[in-house]
Amino acid sequence: MSCQGQGYGFLLNGSRFFITYFLHSVQRILIRDANIVNEGKIIPGDVYIKEGLIYSVGGDLSGKEADIEINANGKYLLPGLIDDQVHFREPGLTHKAEIYTESKTAVSGGVTSFMEMPNTIPQSTTHELLEEKYSIAAQRSLANYSFYLGATNTNIETIKSVDAANVCGVKVFQGSSTGNMLVDNPDSLEAIFKECPILIATHSENDNIIKANLERYKKEYGENIPAKLHPKIRTEEACYDASKTVVEMAKTFGTKLHVLHISTGKEVALFDNSLPLSEKRITAEACIHHLWFSEEDYKTKGNFIKWNPAIKTSEDRALIVKGVLEGNIDVIATDHAPHTIEEKEQSYLKAPSGGPLLQHGLPALLEMYHDGKISLEKIVEKTSHNVAILFEIEKRGYLREGYFADLVLVDLDSPWEVKRDNVLSKCGWSPFEGQTFRSKVTHTIVSGHLAYENGVFNEEINGRRLKFSRNVG
């Protein structure tokens, strides 16, 4: 392998700092004999990567000079997944997770790019605080990255001046937020929808409905509410009411709206499947846990599958899968949101919502493929192609010549069991513990850099900041 870069160290206030200046990626990578899954087709062939880009996609490229040659032996080569919803907890909550640890976890699961949420400490509600996250990622993220600006009741001027080419979106919490990030002032919400120049992503739950339900169960159970009642507290009604509100508002103002983590079958009908994605102004996302688990799993998983919005019925799950397949739901994400084991082992009222999913999201989708529930082509469409279209990401999301080389190689016949000792997320647990997956990620290439190979990471080069090609103004 050729040299990747150079660096030097210096002392500042008695502490040693090391800065590395990486030269252009000079890795030339040849992937041989792969089944290439891309743009609705699966074709056998080779891929040649040079200077961080996909240089050639073709049949036999064996004559190309390469620093690294990977013999795929018929494994399946996919565009790297782009996850539009993760929580990496940095800054301020790094006992749960860090940009460094979770970006590694992402890469191990075939996720080459992520978009991270603003509910850290401090919350990313100003341009200055947002750029601090970008600085951390530039130094520590193995995957490509972008970060949402957080909306509040009072930061409309900041939202209006967001950098459309360099920020993925604006996050609006309608429900389930802390601090001042709950946008519960109707005038503020309307102003955001009228004035925001880029995509708005919403967490849509009606807090008033949820609070009323919670009080009712507190009267019945006191402090000992069982986890299985989570979907009875954060109900279909709470989700549908909030989603319907923002969809109607987006239609009124022509807002580019993306509703995150759809959890009910009823919500699916709010979203149109008659237009191509590039023409849609209102879109929706499904997350791995809502595609996999149902309320029956609270019996064994308890708080470890406590998410907001809640995992609901098997009927809801089936309708969400149907929405993914039929185009009402446009993308699949993880909502990766780690908490410590100790935090999740508390009582229902004290245990926080969320859990790690990045490492196991793609294996779970591939398991659904094995079970005949979704095709490989559809997985690629919903996790890569459509995310790139929706967010207007520059030169990513496809296996195309001239695009950044974000690729993942998967072995569809390599069973492995999820155990606590092979979980990579800093939190150290997974809701999939005990599950045997039939498929495994073997190689992940990030912006032309072979970052992961058969369980081994190469951290010499970090991921890159995502860029967006948007016509704004």
Ordered DSSP codes for 325-370: HHTSS-EEE--B----HHHHTS-TTTSPS-B--TTTHHHHHHHHHH
For tokens 């509910």, what's the residue?
119
- The Cα–Cα gap between 247 and 245 comes to 6
Per CATH, 5-78+404-412+436-457 and 80-391 having the same topology is answered: no
Contact yes or no for 107/458 (Cβ under 8 A) = no
Token pair recorded at residue 108: 């191990």
> 294: burial class by Cβ within 10 Å (0-12, 13-18, 19+)?
middle
| 309 preceded by a cis bond (ω within 30 of 0) | yes
Contact yes or no for 431/304 (Cβ under 8 A) = yes
| Residue 306: closest CA among 232, 227, 226, 420 | 227
Contact yes or no for 363/383 (Cβ under 8 A) = no
Q: How many CB atoms lie within 10 A of CB 44?
A: 12
Eight-state DSSP code of residue 182:
B
pLDDT (tens digit, 0 to 9) for every residue of the chain, 473 residues total?
A: 333 333 333 334 333 333 333 444 468 999 999 999 999 999 999 999 999 999 999 889 998 999 999 999 999 999 999 999 999 999 999 999 999 999 999 999 999 999 999 999 999 999 999 999 999 999 999 999 999 999 999 999 999 999 999 999 999 998 555 557 888 888 999 999 999 999 999 999 999 999 999 999 999 999 999 999 999 999 999 999 999 999 999 999 999 999 999 999 999 999 999 999 999 999 999 999 999 999 999 999 999 999 999 999 999 999 999 999 999 999 999 999 999 999 999 999 999 999 999 999 999 999 999 999 999 999 999 999 999 999 999 999 999 999 999 999 999 999 999 999 999 999 999 999 999 999 999 999 999 999 999 999 999 999 999 999 987 64
Strands 111-116 and 81-86: parallel
What pLDDT score was predicted for residue 472? 60
Instruction: Domain 5-78+404-412+436-457: give its CATH code.
Output: 2.30.40.10
What pLDDT score was predicted for residue 3? 35
Give the start-to-end residue ranges of the domains of the chain. Answer: 5-78+404-412+436-457, 80-391
| Residue 29: closest CA among 386, 335, 322, 409 | 409
CATH 3.10.180.10 for domain 80-391 = no
Contact yes or no for 358/109 (Cβ under 8 A) = yes
Give the chain's end-to-end CA distance (angstroms, integer). Answer: 46
- The Cα–Cα gap between 405 and 393 comes to 14
Q: Is 378 helix (H, G, I), strand (E, B) or coil?
A: helix
- The Cα–Cα gap between 16 and 22 comes to 19
- The Cα–Cα gap between 428 and 346 comes to 16
Contact yes or no for 284/259 (Cβ under 8 A) = yes
Strand partners of residue 11: 16
What pLDDT score was predicted for residue 15? 36
Q: How many CB atoms lie within 10 A of CB 306?
A: 23
